[in-house]
Structure 1
Amino acid sequence: MTDLEPIKCEQLLADNYVGHLAYIADNQPYVIPSTYYFLKDEKSILCFASNGHRINALRKCNKVSFQVDRIKSFRDWESVQVHGCFHELTGNRAKQYLKHFAEGVQETIDLKNAERPHFLSHFSGRLQEEEMPVVYCIVINQMTGKSVTDFT
């Protein structure tokens, strides 16, 4: 197992769009899959969710971890773990970032495998205040990565 250089960690984040968000709620750890878009220039991970358990927990305890993997086999994988803080976006900024999220995730998907998921197309209709999901970013404080490439 070797450490990934920071540039390789960023590339793994940029090349994917599904990771695992870890957070604390009622003194219990939770880990859930989450669609995301990596904002390299801002050193943050952009996400959204409906109001509920996750968002309520993140508002109370903003410290989180986020993990992204590329796994081909048990002898060929890379993994990045990010530690950071939840930051909720509101108003016009949230609307702009939600649009940026949808476009960015679609671009990542197009580059990865030409898949056309239907869930992205509904964002344009959800930009009304009463229907807006909670848009948030994870501001990255620390990022580490590991890899294994043993082909023997």
Structure 2
Amino acid sequence: MIDLEPLKCEHLLIDNYVGRLAYIAENEPYVVPSTYYFLKEERSILCFASNGHRINSLRKHDKVTFQVDRIESFRHWESVQVHGRFEELTGDSAKQYLKQFAEGVQRTIDHKNAERPHFLSHFSGRLQEVEMPVVYRIAVTLITGKSVHDLNAN
């Protein structure tokens, strides 16, 4: 196992759109899958969720970890962990970031496999709703990564 260089860590984050968010709720760790968009220029991970357990917990304990993997086999994988702080976005800023999220995720999907998931078409409608989903970002404090590339593996 070797450490991933910072540029390779960023590339893995840019090249994917599903990761796992780790957070604390009532002194217990939770890990949930989450669609995301990496804003390299802002050094942040952009996400959204409905009001509920996750958002209530993040409002109380803002330190989080976000993990993204590329796994081909147990002898060939890369994993990146992002440590940061939860920041809730509101008002016009939240709407702007939700639009940026939807467009960014779609570009990532198009680049990877030309699939167009139907859930992205609902974002434009949600931008007009009175009760939007909670849009948030993870302000990155540290990015680390590991990889295993066993060239002898089949």
TM-score range, shorter chain: over 0.9
Quote the residue 1:39 is aligned against: 39
Runs (4+) of structure 1 exceeding 6 A deviation are none
CA distance in 1, matches of 2:4, 2:112: 21
Q: Deviations over 1:5-32 (max 9, x none)?
A: 0000000000000000000000000000
Deviations 1:30-83 (A, max 9, x none): 000000000000000000000000000000000000000000000100000011
More helix, by proportion: 1
CA distance in 1, matches of 2:98, 2:18: 16
Structure 1: stretches of 5+ with no match in the other structure? none
Code of the aligned partner of 1:41: E
**TM-score by structure 1 length?**
0.99
Query: Is the deviation greater in 125-134 or in 65-74?
Result: 125-134
Specify the SS of the correspondent of 1:93: helix
Q: Which amino acid aligns with 1:60?
A: K
Q: Which residue of 2 aligns with 1:150?
A: 150
Quote the Cα distance in structure 2 between the aligned partners of 1:57 and 1:81: 20
CA distance in 1, matches of 2:128, 2:52: 19
**For 1:27 and 1:121, how far apart are their aligned partners in 2?**
37
Q: Which amino acid aligns with 1:55?
A: I
Distance 1:55 1:34 in 2: 13
- 1:108-127 correspondence runs (5 A): 108-127=108-127
Instruction: Report how many aligned residue pairs link the two structures.
Output: 152
Q: Which runs of 5+ in 2 are unaligned?
A: none
Secondary structure of 1:54's counterpart equals: helix
Measured after TM superposition, the shift of residue 129 of structure 1 is 4.9
Aligned to 2:81: 81
Q: State the TM-score, normalizing by the size of structure 2.
A: 0.97
Q: Which amino acid aligns with 2:52?
A: G
Q: Shift of residue 127 of structure 1?
A: 1.1
Question: 1 CA distance for matches of 2:124 and 2:111?
Answer: 22
What SS class does the counterpart of residue 131 from structure 1 fall into? coil
Residue 48 of structure 1 aligns with which residue? 48
Separation of aligned partners in 2, 1:62 and 1:71? 29
Measured in 1, the distance between the counterparts of 2:78 and 2:141 equals: 20
The alignment's C-alpha RMSD in Å is: 0.6
SS of corresponding position for 1:51: coil
In structure 2, the partner of 1:64 is 64
> What residue number does 1:21 align with?
21
